[in-house]
Structure 1
């Protein structure tokens, strides 16, 4: 039966002017495909090219979604799920077809990422560094270096991240260093928040170079004996992303990535998190929808109708649906802004960077409270039973709340406001660390 036939049957069953008497919801012959009435991902550009890509990956996303709640509850790292995506060359989406990729636009990648995050937010986030790295690769002017990395990426190799140090370094200064020995550059140091590295073949490492000022990005193999990757992330959310420690002991550098003043990496990093947030919102809405549809118990303080007819519950579901739709739309609007800026030859490097950063900061300012609110409202529509550990409904809020702490989110609106009022350009990321002269309070 086609959706058009089904829609016609639904009208006939539910419209008294057509069928005489409206059927009760429980009497409908099949579950109605409510989401097919809207685009899966809103916004312009969700066209035939995107649908071609989505047809490849949606069956994989469905497999990943099937066990996502249990993996979250049991803390099972998703190695198998990464392998399923790798089999379809998810990591090579942005590479041209001639280079062994899918020829996807940046907006295609983010639409797919939202759908993947709906299936499992952990699996979506662990690709964060890889997506940003590939974006740098497709912009490389050095064709030899580009070919080296497109060959690796198209073969299914994944790149992780080791930028941040947990402590002990001064603001703007890295303790992780490269030193030259026997004509080779070696990395030594320890990093934390190394999202995705435990699943990766390579990792980018932010290092101090003795001959070049500022932060440099070295790429090293995670398979080298001097690399030790620890699954020691103990946050209450996003526990399966490999966001733990990585140690480097005389690890040879494979590549130093060239500096690019138009590099959109910081914005890409943030927008990946926003895409994950949007996917979490969708997953929460899915659980809310199916739970309300299945619920038979009601409260004596209600209006005496089944829960799926309860006006206040329906209003709450509508609010959550609106918040999730808005989050999707804002994320994709920001991604399209970045995509446009990167192709605009009329922008200089500073203007291009500012456009990308402002788009990401605006999105972060509005998307995170929307999704946190939606994942909290979930419980208002379902009652105390939804808080049971066996339901694991709290994973949506825990994961959204954890992501919302990144980089940190509270500074983003101020940065946008400073630009709007005073024309102050967003600053490029430096190195997180301890501010000199910071007072040490008792008990801190």
Structure 2
């Protein structure tokens, strides 16, 4: 039997056509024998001889493989990936960036993102839920307060995970927050409600954006998710990325562990965005993987084709090549942007505002390019497979749904304008403020 024509690894049959008259019979004996393809392309873009990344990948790729095994079914049946987060935490994925002397892996920022792309290829939900944690770790590494830095490094090294509770669903005026910190019996506590709390349902701690009676602007309180006053709801009802815990978190008189210093890390907003871009790149890879397997296993052909097996059909091969190129481009843009951020963080010649601008511009440029690539890839795969690929049991639409959902974030539509305003007018990106209601709006 020719290579690639064994039953589909996922148990999917892409040979069923809604209109059998569109197919012609082709005997398997007519297939030319194919030799296994030698994979010459690197699994991830970047330096070719890199022992550090190879060492890290050797630790986590077996875990990624376990996570990938049932990703399609988890998405189809809405099963939150608690077990998969546990597998990663057993290897202390969240401690990647910590110095080896502090119990971490000593990974570069680019190492983290290359691994994140691979993880998101296995399951995009699991990749995204680390978003706040990855940004928080960078904040910790940049802390000047040595006691606070030591406390959080010890917690992260022990495998504790940090979530996110920044955004309110509505009802707050633009630039203000309804969630507040207050002093009760000599201790700071938090009261309020947040939404879009990605990852918090899996986390030990969560950062909470609050108003503070003694400090101006948005403050970041960190609270334990194990407190009795914390209620985490799995009520995210978006059509994509449904397993990331992106729902409501309620806080009632929850004690504050600490307040994070303002502007600890000038790359935080960029890292939040680049995590989403890494997830998009992983989704594009996963879509390519499914397309490859389906084309290799397909035996039905169309009378409107050239009469050769699908795995030799020139137009199908062209389509697969385009998808492969677009996936590769997404990977490369993400890693290029991360390397730009990595360089900015280590550049003593930049002041805080310049460093923030470099990081933001790198992330915004990447977002402008990567999101259309991922959306295109996840839509295009159906063109090479026919109507049978749209069956709900195949769940191939999850790639598009997940990519499309991520592509709405923060919101993506504004990013190219921000870059253009910088290029033409020298206007630097503005620091993150608070989303809220427009008080001037009239119905």
**Pairwise TM-score range, normalised by the shorter structure:** over 0.9
Is 2:299–2:310's contact at 8 Å kept on the other side of the alignment?
Answer: yes
Following superposition, the deviation at residue 25 of structure 1 comes to: 7.5
The alpha-carbon deviation at position 358 of structure 1 amounts to 0.1
Check if 1:231 corresponds to 2:237.
Answer: no
State whether residues 262 and 349 of structure 1, in contact with CA within 8 Å, keep that contact through their aligned partners in structure 2: no
CA pair 215-45 structure 1, distance change in 2 beyond 3 A: farther
Q: CA deviation at 1:263?
A: 2.1
Matched-pair contact (CA < 8 Å) for 1:261–1:349: no
SS of 1:248's partner is strand
CA distance in 2 between partners of 1:332 and 1:25 (Å): 40
The answer for the alignment partner of 1:20 in structure 2 is none
After TM superposition, give the deviation of residue 437 of structure 1 in Å.
1.0
Q: Partners of 2:124 and 2:193 in 1: how far apart?
A: 26
* 2:389 corresponding residue in structure 1: 386
Q: Structure 1 residue aligned with 2:80, among 73, 77, 80? A: 77
Structure 1 residues 46 and 60 mapped into 2: Cα distance closer, same or farther (>3 Å)? farther
Indicate the structure whose relative CO is greater, using CA pairs within 8 Å and at least 6 residues apart: 2
Asked if residue 27 in structure 1 is aligned to residue 33 in structure 2, the reply is yes
Q: If the length of structure 2 is used for normalisation, what is the TM-score?
A: 0.92
Counterparts in 2 of 1:345-424, with a 5 A limit? Answer: 345-424=348-427
The 5 A counterparts of 1:101-112 are: 101-112=104-115
Alpha carbons 2:143, 2:264 under 8 Å: kept = no
C-alpha distance in 1, partners of 2:262/2:404? 33
Matched, 1:121 2:124: yes
What secondary structure, in the 3-state scheme, does the structure 1 residue paired with 2:301 have? coil
Q: Deviations over 1:288-318 (max 9, x none)?
A: 0010000000111101000001000000000
* Superposition misfits of 4+ residues, deviation over 6 angstroms: none
1:27 is paired with a residue whose SS is: coil
Alpha-carbon contact 2:117-2:278 (below 8 Å) kept? yes
Q: What's the CA shift for 1:436?
A: 1.5
In the other structure, the counterpart of 2:142 is 139
Supply the distance in 2 between the matched residues of 1:193 and 1:314 (Cα, whole angstroms). 40
Tell me if the contact between 2:230 and 2:251 (Cα under 8 Å) persists in the aligned partners: yes
Task: Choose the corresponding residue for 1:434, options 413, 425, 437.
Answer: 437
How far apart are 1:329 and its partner, in Å? 0.3
Pair 1:183 & 2:189 matched:
no
Aligned partners of 1:339, 1:232: CA distance in 2, in Å? 35
In structure 1, C-alpha distance between the alignment counterparts of 2:135 and 2:200, rounded to whole Å: 14
Does the CA contact (< 8 Å) of 1:262 and 1:352 recur in 2?
Answer: no
Q: How far has the Cα of 1:183 moved from its partner?
A: 1.2
Distance in 2 (alpha carbons) for counterparts of 1:97 and 1:187: 34
* TM-aligned CA deviation for residue 137 of structure 1: 0.6
**CA distance in 1 between partners of 2:49 and 2:185 (Å):** 52
2:139/2:265 contact within 8 Å kept: no
- 1:193-232 equivalences in 2 (<5 Å): 193-232=196-235
87, 90, 99: which one aligns with 1:87: 90
- Using the alignment, how far apart are the partners of 2:244 and 2:160 within structure 1? 17
**Residue 19 of structure 2: aligned partner:** none
| Structure 2, unaligned runs of 5 or more | 1-29
Report the RMSD for the aligned CA atoms in angstroms: 1.3
**Is this contact kept in 1: 2:31–2:309, CA < 8 A?**
no
Any conservation in 1 of the 2:189–2:255 contact (CA below 8 Å)? yes
Q: How many residues align?
A: 415
Query: Counterpart in 2 of 1:270?
Result: 273
Residue of structure 2 in register with 1:252 after alignment:
255
Residue 334 to residue 32, structure 1, CA distance change in 2 (3 Å)? same
- TM-score, structure 1 as length reference: 0.92
Indicate if the aligned counterparts of 2:95 and 2:157 stay in contact, CA closer than 8 A: yes
Q: Who is 2:4 aligned against?
A: none
**1:219-255 Cα shifts (integer Å, max 9, x gaps):** 0000000000000000000000000000000000001
| Structure 1 position 46, deviation (Å) | 6.6
Unaligned runs of 5+ in 1: 1-23
Aligned partner of 1:167 among 167, 170, 176? 170
Following the alignment from structure 1 to structure 2, what is the Cα–Cα distance between the partners of residues 259 and 241?
A: 27
Residue 74 (structure 1) shift: 0.4
User: Which residue of structure 2 aligns with residue 284 of structure 1?
Assistant: 287
Alpha-carbon separation, structure 2, partners of 1:378 and 1:83 = 32
Query: 1:143 deviation in Å?
Result: 1.1
Structure 2 residue 71 is the aligned partner of structure 1 residue 65: no
Contact 1:132 1:268 (C-alpha < 8 Å) held by counterparts: yes
1:296 aligns with 2:299: yes
Q: CA deviation at 1:259?
A: 1.2
Give, in angstroms, the shift of residue 186 of structure 1: 0.6
> Contact 2:222–2:260 at 8 Å: present in 1 too?
yes
